[in-house]
Chains A and B, each alone.
Chain A
Amino acid sequence: MRMLKILLWKELIQIYRDPAIIRILFIMPMIQLLILPLAADYEIKNINLGVVDHDHTEYSRKLVSKIVSSGYFRLKDYSATFQQGLNAIESDKTDLILEIPPHFERDMVNENKAPLLVAVDAVNGVKAGLGGAYIQGIIQDDNQDIRAQWIPEQHFNPRPVIEVTTADWYNPHMNYRVFMVPGILVMLVTMIGSSFASNNIVREKEMGTIEQINVSPIGKAQFILGKLIPFWMLALTVLTIGLLIARFVYGIVPLGHYVTIYIFATIYLLAILGLGLLLSTYAQTQQQSMLVSFFVTMIFNLLSGLYTPIESMPAWAQMITRFNPVSYFIEVMRMVMLKGSGLADIKYQIFALLGFAVVFNGWAILNYRKRSG
């Protein structure tokens, strides 16, 4: 026990004396957390619209102004021919062309139907899909208005109507940041915790200082704990700073308890730091360990549900997410912060992470002995 204390003291002094670490640990996450949520906005809006109007009637102008006033589209280009409209798409000036054919209004009145062409730059499939759907929705809406205007009003509605009402729980203002900030915080804590931990043992190896520890009477479990606890404390500090920023900058007050978040984070960090240390016992150089831990955390982050919903992934990828500690923490953070889930609601996730923590740390201890023994 005394040995562990001495070891911890050494690690803390080492961290404290390296100003670069302190900078990286505290300032960078703060900057990230202030910038990332502003940038990570998936919401599709501001679609750049190009119009090719061959009709030039009051009606075609009204349709365009209706589309623009929906808030999703910005009128960026008015071309005389479709080819010119296409050039605007090619040069990335517009995302979508609405072509109104000649005699649009006349056909509508005389033949009871008229065509419209919408051409979308579909390189970004999601944006194109939603953009196409929005504009169709607005046109349909407009179509309804025309009917209502031109068909004599009927007092009795003979058709059965199902009225659909929607309620948006947990985030009634549909604010994307509320969703992203807890997830981004997890990503930052993970990246910092795991890469420092994975770098640490290997650094001693590369610098040659590990030999000194190997000849000292320190036990292997003590050694691993001595490496783990300082980073665990640092990562919890980063988490605290992040939660403060979430509260005072973004106004995100957790519906659940901070206590729940900390209990879970404590276990989570044991697991993720254990993984970092495990990688560290295998690596020979810092370059290697950093690259491996970067590679692993990248896969973990991409498959964590932070960017894309896990249910949409194919079965094999969903299988991987079950062995991905990051996906559990992101889920739990969002549940506790947005839905007010308590410890009882996250039982399953807690047990899963306890399992990871035991396996990773146990493995790291066993593996460390082999290398130095």
Chain B
Amino acid sequence: MKQFLIFVKKEWLHIWRDRRTLFILLFMPIIQIILYGFALTNEVKNSKIAIFDQSKDEATVMISDEIAASRYFNLVKNVYTYKDMEATFRKGEIRMAIVFPPAFRYDLLHSNHAQIQLIADASDPNTANTLTNYATAVINDYQQTLDPDQRLPYTIKTEVRMLYNPELKGAYNFVPGVMALVLMLVCAMMTSIAIVKEKEMGTMEVILVSPLKPFRIIIAKTIPYLLISMLNIASILLLSVYALDVPVAGNLGLLIAESILFTITSLSVGILISNTAKTQQTAMFTSMMSLFLPTLLFSGFMFPIENMPVPLQVISNIVPAKWYFIIVKEVMIKGLGFTAVWKETLILVIMTTALLGISIYKFKIRLG
């Protein structure tokens, strides 16, 4: 045990002396939370639009003003021909154009019917949809003002209640996601590289002749990363509560216990990768391609899993981050207890045991 602790201390010194790496490891979660919290939003606002007004009358000017005043739109250009409009789209200057036909107001007053055309750059379908919805709403509002005192019979009044996250903040979804991503990165990627490094540099041989059992050596290498991960969880949770106003609704102890479990899962993945890779470069790419991207994709925090084709939905089940993401969501955001997440916890426990089992097995073969 004493030897083991000495070994852990040696590993810790390695990391401690490489200040740049340590700095990035501790700083990465903070940057991620800041980016996701303040910079990345799917909300559509300030979208650049152009107006092609062939009528230029009181009504079109009023509608244009209403649209330009909305925070969703940013009127950057008036165009005067269809050709001009097309060129503006092609340069990527606008996302939508609003076309008023000639004699708009005349038609509206005399035949009670006038047309507006919204042309959206649908290369991004979601934004295009949202923008045409917003513009239609503004136009409908204007239409209401034309005929203010109508009373509507048979009205269904829908009350919409947003549970857990009444302000619809993105943070409620991405804080659990960033936790999964950061723990996976720090633990799996760093451990896998740290172990392969010794192999590549030839120093592994030296360590293996020491009286410590090989597998203990590996475990000793992972412990410093476990500590760093705990610091990361702490900084993410502090930022989440104090900077983003996302409180921990459930039991903090349970949340931390689950996080430690997931950290151990990630460390086991790292050990497994380092068992198969021969160079740091390969280890790095294997972790990036088989951990980072799948975690981003299949944890459910960026893209809805239920939209994916069935085979991918099945694959998502073997991504540990998916289960951890669900656990954090339930415990931290919804404030549920262990009874709500025991199934997911059990899955993580089984995965960890299996990963460690395979690693020990392969490890013996390699060195035997």
Contact = CB atoms under 8 A, between A and B. Distances in A.
A160 B159 contact: no
A287 B340 contact: no
Contact of A162 (B92, B108, B336): B108
Interface string A176-206: 1011000000000001000110010001001
B281 A199 contact: yes
Interface in B298-317: 298, 302-304, 306-309, 312
Interface stretch (A110-118, A230-238, A356-364): A110-118
Among the interface residues A89, A172, A174, A335, which one has the most CB atoms of the partner chain B within 10 A? A174
Contacts of A174: 122, 125, 128-129
B170 interface: yes
B280 A164 contact: no
Nearest to B130: A130
A41 B307 contact: yes
B251 to A, nearest CB: 15
Interface string B85-121: 0000111100100000000000011001111111111
B297 interface: yes
Contacts of B280: 286-287, 290
B123 A38 contact: no
B35 A123 contact: no
Contact of A120 (B24, B124, B161): B161
B128 A28 contact: no
B92 A125 contact: no
Contacts of B132: 166
A143 B154 contact: yes
A317 B161 contact: no
A108 B42 contact: no
Interface stretch (B1-9, B142-150, B358-366): B142-150
Given A112-B154, A116-B158, A314 B38 contact: yes
Nearest to A158: B112
Interface residues of B, number: 112
B257 interface: no
A57 B32 CA distance: 51
B48 A311 contact: yes
B40 interface: yes
B163 A129 contact: no
B54 interface: no
Interface residues of A, number: 114
A32 B297 CA distance: 11
B121 A170 contact: yes
B215 interface: no
B289 interface: yes
Interface stretch (A218-226, A266-274, A338-346, A365-373): A338-346
B221 to A, nearest CB: 13
A122 B172 contact: yes
Interface stretch (A1-9, A240-248, A292-300): A292-300
Given A117-B159, A291-B25, A161 B113 contact: yes
Interface in A311-335: 311-314, 316-317, 320, 331, 334-335
Contacts of B142: 162
Interface in B1-55: 18, 20-21, 24-25, 28, 31-32, 35-36, 38-48
A154 interface: no
A58 interface: no
Contacts of A166: 117-120, 132, 136
Interface in A139-182: 139-140, 142-143, 146-147, 150-151, 157-172, 174-176, 178-179
A285 interface: yes
Interface in A82-123: 86, 89-92, 108, 112-123
B304 to A, nearest CB: 7
Given A160-B108, A165-B115, A311-B46, A290 B154 contact: no
A114 B156 contact: yes
Q: Which of B32, B156, B281 has the most CB of A within 10 A?
A: B156
Given A90-B336, A302-B40, A313-B41, A128 B168 contact: yes
Contacts of A46: 304, 306-307
A287 B221 CA distance: 15
Given A168-B128, A178-B123, A341-B91, A123 B334 contact: yes
Contacts of A163: 113-116
A334 B123 contact: yes
Contacts of B95: 311
A167 B120 contact: yes
Contacts of A167: 117-120
A227 to B, nearest CB: 15
A357 to B, nearest CB: 21
A216 interface: no
Most buried by B among A45, A117, A164, A176: A164
Interface of B: 18, 20-21, 24-25, 28, 31-32, 35-36, 38-48, 74, 89-92, 95, 108-109, 112-129, 132-133, 135-136, 139-140, 142-143, 146-147, 150, 152-170, 172-173, 189-190, 193-194, 197, 201, 278-282, 284-285, 288-289, 293, 297-298, 302-304, 306-309, 312, 326, 329-330, 333-334, 336, 340
**6 shortest interchain CB distances as A-B pairs:** A168-B122, A317-B39, A125-B168, A122-B165, A122-B162, A174-B125
13 contacts: A32-B293, A40-B302, A116-B156, A123-B173, A169-B120, A171-B123, A290-B193, A292-B24, A299-B35, A311-B48, A314-B39, A317-B39, A345-B92
